[in-house]
Each structure stands twice: as structure tokens, then as C-alpha cells.
Chains A and B, each alone.
Chain A
Amino acid sequence: MTDRRRLILYQAGVLVALLTGWEAAGYRHLIDPFFFSRPSAIAIRVAEWFVGGSIYRHLWTTALETVLAFLVGSATGVLLGFIFGRSPILSSIFDPYLKIANALPRIVLAPIFTLWFGLGILSKVAFGVTLVFFIVFFNTFQGIREVDPNLLNNVRMLGATDRDLVRHVLLPSALAWILSSLHTSVGLALVGAVVGEYLGAGRGLGYVIAQAEGTFDTTGVFAGMAVLAGFTLAVDLLVTGIERRLMAWKLTALRPELA
């Protein structure tokens, strides 16, 4: 435990040193605070946002978009991954198109989504979905495809119908793969929301940063980034908690290479 405490101490030390150096350099005019701002100013700005309450509607918007993008992207990814995983014909027909769609840099879709779905949360959700979908889709597909045929045969010998196989073997097996991509897909849902907001929106953390940038308000940009970082951290902790709860039998049992 002392080793762990010492590590935390060192980690905090790095942060303190960085912030102090930044603050001092700004104070002594070694760097221009107009371009680099100062940690104290950023902290004050963040505090103002929270005390004044102006940041909450932005946080709420970004959170809502993230959750929706994650849910819709995961649901469609699981569904199609499952269908394609069970049907070699379908998967061979669509294989090149899926590869092309996945290779496309998703950011080019943002303007088209804004045109289609407007400046509201829908366009951000759609953008996030295109990011989340492929991660979940490919993981589910892989999960279904790589189920050990002996596992299926064994359960079949024990008296399983096709529906039993789905319930007892295919779904749990796919779930393991989906969960292993949970961190990535939640992270991408958030990226989708923020980038979408940044490119054109009326609210949200990405919008806050874009607005500050538009008025050369460096402090505002950094304050937005700080809030975003805190938000990401909170989401990540939440996902880790969910993972721990769901993975009673340990991911490592099925995919030792992840250990």
C-alpha cells in the first residue's frame, strides 16, 4: 500500500510541478498569457461556470448525446453483428462495403449530418453512432464467428435447440467481446458528441470551446478542456464500475491475450 501511496504522490507531484511552472512562466511573462492563459485564471473561470450554473446545460447536452450515440450505435452494432456473424453469405456480400465505410474518416460526415439533422443534438448523435457502430459491430461479429464449434456441439449434445444455443452460447460469447470494447465505444461516443458540437451547435462542451476560440478567449478554451477532461474521467470510472459488475467470470478466461 505504501508503494501505491508513493506512486500517487509522484503523480500528483508531476501535476503540481506542471501547473506551478505554467503559472510562474505566465506571471514572469516568459510566455504570453494571451495565448497560453494561466492555471489560476482557468480555475477561476471553471469555478465561475459551476457557481453561476451556466455550464450545466452544456454538460447535460454532451452527456445526453454521448449516451444516445452509445445506445443507438451499440444496439445496431450488436444486432447487425449478430446477423452477419450467423450468415456467412450476407457477410461476404457486404464485406467490401463495410470495410470502405469503416475506412472513411468519419469527420467528413459531420457537415452532411448537420445538413440532414440540423444543429440540434440529432446530428451529434448520428455522428457518434457512426463511430460507435463499427467498433461494436466488428466485435460482435468476431465474437459470434469465433465461438468454438466444440462448445456449440457440446451444448447441442446436451439437448439444446437453436434458440438455446443463442441464449446459452452465442449471446454470452458476443457479450464478452462487446464488453471488451465498452471503453473504446463509450469514448468514441463522447468524441462524436464533442466534435459534432465543435463543428456546429447551440450548446454542449464542444460548443463552449468553439465559442471561446472564436473570441480568442484562451482561458475559456482551456477551461472548456478542463471540464471536458473531468467529464471524460467520470465517464471512464463509471464504465470501469459497470465492467467490474458484469464481468464476474473474467474476460481473461475467454480472451487470454487481453490479460
Chain B
Amino acid sequence: MPSGVFTGPALEFVEVERHFRTPGGRSFVALARLSFKVAQGEFVAIVGPTGGGKSTLLNIAAGLLKPTHGTVLTFGEPVDGVNRRAAYLFQNDVLLPWKTALENVMLGPLLHRWPPSRAREAAREWLARVGLEGFEDRYPHQLSGGMRKRVALAQALIVGPEVLLMDEPFSSLDVQTREFMENDLLALWQEDRKTVLFVTHDLEEAIALSDRVLVLSAGPEAHVVGSYPVELPRPRDVTEVRLDPRFREVYQAVWERLRGEVLRAFAFRERCRPRGDS
């Protein structure tokens, strides 16, 4: 870590606002007055109603989108252009279909100008770590959905990012595969405790994985309306931890806040339905 002495937050949003232009030419304020911090090594989950600007928030943290107002700091430095300290796990499949699993994982190292032999070696190791030994030469369409997620995880982690941004990465998987993936993610995370910002609309997933749950208000003008620490022991098993009475307590508390936002989001969508934004 180049800033070994820096002990401030790994990620900080300061009064971030983001506007979009709608097809009708009007301005839509997706995020407003959005401020929060993620400490180094902290696993933070963000929950909020669907369509509430969660992906926008992550894209801003990744530096793929610029905030209209406000700043984003990573390890005390403003994010300008792509956030080089972060890796991003997308919601949909983003593996390159014309590259094998190994080549996909090698891509990051090669783009960082590692020598090819070293990149290949590291990619093999990472595929083994995510349980895909023997699948190196498969193309993405020859892998199951869960396996593709594992390749994507290896692809994101191989270059040693300090922050991991995750956008509902497991939402497309069936329940069993999903719990496997969640446990594997926690096991990998436990090894070196990177900073994680995990966006989901699934409250149970958020609590099972994270140290802290942030609730995002319904859009437009989404912002953080609550922060709930999850003081459950680690290492955790995502299936068993749900039976813990403390899990239920946190769930109650967060749901209390989240329910109102979900209802608001629903009402807003209903209102918009008849004629869009005209």
C-alpha cells in the first residue's frame, strides 16, 4: 500500500450530487447530499430500493462517472478518472467471450504490464483459489453462471486492489450457488480484509456479509438515511448467521427504515408510469 501511513477512510463521499438528462430533456437528480465514509478494511453494504441510484453511486466510486457536484476521496485523494485503487465486480457478465477463463484473469496483470509468464502463473493460482482448477481453457459460455462469477472475482482481485466495489454481483444466481459464492467471498475477504463496498437490494445478504449496513433513500435525490453496525462474530457462515438472534435484531432495525423507502420508491414509480416524465 503506497499510503501505509494514511489511516483515514478508504472511501469518502462528500456531498455528492449527480444529475442525468432524461430522454425528455429534463434534469433528473439521481443522487443528492450523499455523504458517507468507508474505513480501511471495512465491509460496508448499501441497501436501497431498486432503481434508487445504487449503481450510479458505485460507478462514481469507481471513477466511471463524474459527480455533478461534490467530491469522492479514496485514501484522502480525490478520484479523478478511473479509480486505480479499486476493482469492480459488475452485476452482469462482463467476461470477454473471446478469451478463455485463464486469459480473462490474465487481462488485468497484462494491462498493468506484468511479464506474460508471471501474469499466467498468477492467473493459474487465482483460478485455483476460486476453485476453478482445470477450467483454465474454458470459454465463458462453457461455464455455469456461478463459475463465471468466480472467474470475474479472480479477474478483479488478481491485481491486488485496495477497494472492492460490488454491484449486486450474485443477484443472477440461484439461491444455493449464491450462498456458496457469499461464503467463498467472505473466506477470501477474511484473508486480507480489503475495503469492500457491496451494493444489494437484498437486506439479508447485506447483513450476513457486512460490518455495517447503509440505507439509501428512494430516488430521486437518493442519499444515506441510516447506518447500522452489524456486530456479528467473524468468520461467518452466511446460512448459519441468519439464525443468530442478533441477526434478527439488526434486520428489524434496518427493515424499519428501509420499508418506508421501498414504499416511497414504489409510489414514485406508480406516479411516473402513465406518461413517463412528460
Contacts and interface: CB of A to CB of B under 8 A. Distances in A.
Interface in A164-180: 164, 168-169, 172-173, 175-176
Interface in A133-188: 148, 150-151, 153-161, 164, 168-169, 172-173, 175-176
A170 to B, nearest CB: 11
A158 B82 CA distance: 10
Contacts of A106: none
A120 B269 CA distance: 67
Interface string A229-259: 0000000000000000000111011100000
Nearest to B90: A150
Contacts of A158: 87, 107-108, 111, 155-156, 159
Interface string B41-80: 0000000000000000001001010000000000000000
B86 A157 contact: yes
B64 A157 contact: yes
B112 interface: yes
A154 B111 contact: no
A157 B62 contact: yes
B141 interface: yes
Interface string B110-150: 01100000000000000000000000000111000000000
A253 B92 CA distance: 15
Nearest to A254: B97
Nearest to B62: A157
A253 B111 contact: no
Nearest to B97: A253
Contacts of A151: 94, 96
Interface in B80-99: 82-84, 86-88, 90, 92, 94, 96-99
SS class of chain B's interface: helix, strand, loop or mixed? loop
Size band of the A side of the interface?
A: 20 to 34
Interface residues of B, number: 27
Most buried by B among A148, A150, A160, A248: A150
B34 to A, nearest CB: 21
Interface string B136-172: 0001110000000000000110010000000000000
Contacts of A169: 96
A154 to B, nearest CB: 4
Interface string B251-271: 000000000000000000000
Contact of B96 (A155, A156, A161, A252): A155
Contact of B139 (A173, A175, A250): A250
Given A153-B90, A154-B94, A159-B112, A253 B139 contact: yes
Contacts of A252: 141
6 contacts: A153-B64, A153-B94, A154-B94, A249-B98, A250-B139, A253-B140
